[in-house]
A and B are shown apart, each in its own frame.
Chain A
Amino acid sequence: MIAAPSNQRRTRLFERIVFWSFRLGTYFVLLCATYIFLDIGIKGGRTVFQKTAPFVNVKFLTEPPQTLYVFDYQGKKMELSDREFRDWKTTHKEDVEVTSVSYSAGGIWPCIVGTALLVIGSMTLALFIGISCAIYLSEYSRDGRFIRLIRIAILNLAGVPSIVFGLFGFGLFVIFFGWNVSLLSGWFTLGLMVLPAIITASEESLRAVPKGLREGSLALGATKWQTIRKNVLPYALPGILTSSILGIARVAGETAPIMFTAAYAMRDEMPWQVSHWTNFFFQGVMALPYHIYVVSSKIPQNEYTERVQYGTAFVFLVVVMLIALTSILLREKQRRRLSW
């Protein structure tokens, strides 16, 4: 009886320590995330936004990257892009001491387009193959050693590092199939990378559809495929789309799988400037994550490259958010059509 109060105090203290450590852990994560977002938001915002109308740096969002020329001229510091510098040279004949910085002028428009194309193509591919595979596994296949082997293979595939997917895509699509560095190679490489996640999530969503709905449909004389198409898949689709949102972020963000298969460091033509429509699939593109990689590690660093790095990162985040938002809206629309 006498020992009880101090014992109680100790228990209470211990409880407090445990909960505070959980709480601190959460705060730490929150702090890191806030720091990252603020850092990118503030520094990137300086590149993307401007004080004068139209407040958005239109050039940065709509032009391809150019080399930046920096020099002193009559005591004034000049920062001119490649094209502007050449124009300037025609009127000013005197020699100036010029520092040139690659990629630091102009904008990142081709990278935005390239990333969007890579995401759309690879997600279409991955969803199509992934959903087919999930339907086969959860609706048609009967459990056996072979199916279990397939499942284990899919789980293992999810753990393969993305650089390995990149090398695989390089070996198979780029070299063996002869597709070269192209959108098509990138689509397949990225698609294969997110496939395990999509298969697993689709299978779970399909399994979550009550068995009674399948039986009810079959008992009315529906075939198996009619049942799946009209009475299972529509209810599983919102769940599948949810999982694909995570897939989108991964496809858009990974650099390793595209650096050998689809990405160019610099390309002057836009993807739609092709001589024949079939060439569309066999062209390499610029991409946001690869652009960040190039400007951050392939060229000498200075204050000018930093602007591009942060600007690109900022735009990149916004693009991923927009794509994710679109698929969230799509999912909500799909959900509202079901009345449950």
Chain B
Amino acid sequence: MVSLIEMPQALPQQLPRQNECPVEETEEATIMIDVRDLDFAYGSNKVLHNVSLDIPAQAVTAFIGPSGCGKTTLLRCINRMNDLIEHARVTGGAIHLGGVDINAPEVDVVDLRRRVGMVFQKSNPFPKSIYENISYGLRIAGINKRSQIDEAVEKSLRGAALWDEVKDRLDEGALGLSGGQQQRLCIARALAVEPDVVLMDEPCSALDPIATAKIEELIHELKMQYTIVIVTHNMQQAGRVSDHTGFFYLGKLIEFGPTTKIFTNPSEKRTEDYITGRFG
């Protein structure tokens, strides 16, 4: 069995931190996730057609497109969450994560998911205390040392910019937090197991503008350490947070490139139409 966790991390020390001119810098960036000719179907219903793209490490990649275009499906392919859906399967192509084919039979899906964290559209804190929410991933990974868990809880809550707000009530129920705090708790929970990649499925769709701004700010900070893939309906958001953007339409990747290019000078007519709000 190939353990994904033990793989060497071939990440460069210095990576682009601003997205002012990502066009030049992407040339040097390491590719974290390599999606090649991916076809995906729910039963006989094909939802992804021949999708190929390279997701660079330590950067934010956004997927945009109208509802039902397959962006969430692709996102859920990366940590194989689609395995849970009956009759859903990859029908062609492959996804490589750090060089390993994640759909290969010898890959342990539990290992994969530990390495590829996920934040869901609807924030889903567990009905336990804040502390237990964060420590959950560590405990199931077999870490039981109290000091180690305490440390990880603080670190990931700080990482998710939530520590100052909840440090005095770690033992209170997570469901008592506000919507934005709950979503940041979910981010902290994902960070606690120290993944390489964090997938975000419309993380702000249920939040008010202030909470949204906080999460966007957070995403900016997180990309120094993590590879982030975000699905969003909100084009301004994609423009604000991402370095690279992929535009999906009817299960096809229409255009993929640096965000500044997609938003200012798209090469495809459909991309331009969508971004300027002519459809979608």
CB neighbours of B68 from chain A (8 A)? none
Assess A339 versus B174: contact at CB under 8 Å? Given A215-B120, A220-B189: yes
- Chain B residues 130-160 with CB under 8 Å of chain A are 136-137, 140-141
Is the Cβ of A219 less than 8 Å from the Cβ of B136? Answer: no
Q: How many residues of B contact A (CB 8 A)?
A: 32
Expressed in whole angstroms, the minimum distance between the Cβ of B226 and any Cβ of chain A is 15
Q: Select from chain B the residue with minimum beta-carbon distance to A216.
A: B124
User: How many pairs of A and B residues are in contact by the CB < 8 Å rule?
Assistant: 77
> Does any Cβ of B come within 8 Å of A223's Cβ?
yes
A215's contact among B81, B129, B172, by CB below 8 Å, is which? Answer: B81
A339's contact among B79, B136, B141, B172, by CB below 8 Å, is which? Answer: B172
Is the Cβ of A339 less than 8 Å from the Cβ of B175? Answer: yes
| Complex Cα–Cα for A89 and B137 (A) | 78
CB neighbours of A339 from chain B (8 A)? 127-129, 172-176
Expressed in whole angstroms, the minimum distance between the Cβ of A135 and any Cβ of chain B is 16
Is the Cβ of A220 less than 8 Å from the Cβ of B173? Answer: no
B86's contact among A143, A214, A216, A223, by CB below 8 Å, is which? Answer: A143
Expressed in whole angstroms, the minimum distance between the Cβ of B22 and any Cβ of chain A is 28
Is the Cβ of B81 less than 8 Å from the Cβ of A231? Answer: no
| Complex Cα–Cα for A219 and B125 (A) | 13
Is the Cβ of A219 less than 8 Å from the Cβ of B81? Answer: yes
| Complex Cα–Cα for A50 and B18 (A) | 88
> Does any Cβ of A come within 8 Å of B118's Cβ?
yes
Is the Cβ of B84 less than 8 Å from the Cβ of A218? Answer: yes
| Complex Cα–Cα for A338 and B133 (A) | 12
> Does any Cβ of B come within 8 Å of A78's Cβ?
no
Interface string of A208-241 (1 = CB under 8 A from B): 0010111111111111001000110001000000
CB neighbours of A143 from chain B (8 A)? 86
Q: Select from chain B the residue with minimum beta-carbon distance to A337.
A: B128
| Complex Cα–Cα for A214 and B85 (A) | 13
Interface string of A304-317 (1 = CB under 8 A from B): 00000000000000
| Complex Cα–Cα for A219 and B86 (A) | 17
Assess A222 versus B140: contact at CB under 8 Å? Given A212-B120, A339-B174: yes
Is the Cβ of B122 less than 8 Å from the Cβ of A212? Answer: yes
- Chain B residues 10-41 with CB under 8 Å of chain A are none
- Chain B residues 47-95 with CB under 8 Å of chain A are 79, 81, 84, 86
Is the Cβ of B127 less than 8 Å from the Cβ of A142? Answer: no
> Does any Cβ of B come within 8 Å of A340's Cβ?
yes
Binding site secondary structure of chain A: helix
Chain A interface residue count: which class?
A: 20 to 34
Q: Select from chain B the residue with minimum beta-carbon distance to A231.
A: B126
| Complex Cα–Cα for A215 and B190 (A) | 12
> Does any Cβ of A come within 8 Å of B273's Cβ?
no
Expressed in whole angstroms, the minimum distance between the Cβ of B269 and any Cβ of chain A is 37
| Complex Cα–Cα for A220 and B172 (A) | 21
Stretch binding the partner chain, chosen from B108-116, B207-215, B257-265: B108-116
| Complex Cα–Cα for A258 and B158 (A) | 62
Expressed in whole angstroms, the minimum distance between the Cβ of A246 and any Cβ of chain B is 25
| Complex Cα–Cα for A266 and B93 (A) | 75
Assess A215 versus B127: contact at CB under 8 Å? Given A223-B110, A339-B174: no
Interface string of A242-256 (1 = CB under 8 A from B): 000000000000000
| Complex Cα–Cα for A142 and B129 (A) | 33
Is the Cβ of B137 less than 8 Å from the Cβ of A220? Answer: yes
Is the Cβ of B110 less than 8 Å from the Cβ of A210? Answer: no
Q: Select from chain B the residue with minimum beta-carbon distance to A144.
A: B86
| Complex Cα–Cα for A213 and B174 (A) | 13
Expressed in whole angstroms, the minimum distance between the Cβ of B177 and any Cβ of chain A is 11
Is the Cβ of B124 less than 8 Å from the Cβ of A212? Answer: yes
> Does any Cβ of A come within 8 Å of B117's Cβ?
yes
CB neighbours of B122 from chain A (8 A)? 212
Is the Cβ of A235 less than 8 Å from the Cβ of B127? Answer: yes
Q: Select from chain B the residue with minimum beta-carbon distance to A212.
A: B124
Assess A221 versus B113: contact at CB under 8 Å? Given A143-B86, A230-B136, A339-B173: yes
Assess A222 versus B110: contact at CB under 8 Å? Given A215-B81, A215-B124, A231-B126: yes
| Complex Cα–Cα for A297 and B11 (A) | 86
> Does any Cβ of A come within 8 Å of B193's Cβ?
yes
Is the Cβ of A221 less than 8 Å from the Cβ of B140? Answer: yes
> Does any Cβ of A come within 8 Å of B97's Cβ?
no
Is the Cβ of B127 less than 8 Å from the Cβ of A220? Answer: no
Please name 24 pairs of A and B residues whose Cβ atoms are closer than 8 Å in the assembled complex, sorted by A: A213-B124, A215-B81, A215-B124, A216-B124, A216-B125, A216-B189, A217-B140, A220-B114, A220-B137, A220-B189, A221-B111, A221-B141, A222-B110, A222-B137, A222-B140, A223-B110, A223-B140, A226-B140, A230-B136, A231-B126, A338-B128, A339-B176, A340-B127, A340-B173
Closest 9 CB pairs between A and B?
A339-B173, A221-B114, A212-B124, A220-B137, A340-B127, A219-B118, A216-B124, A222-B140, A221-B113
Contacts from A to B (Cβ < 8 Å)? 142-143, 210, 212-223, 226, 230-231, 235, 338-340
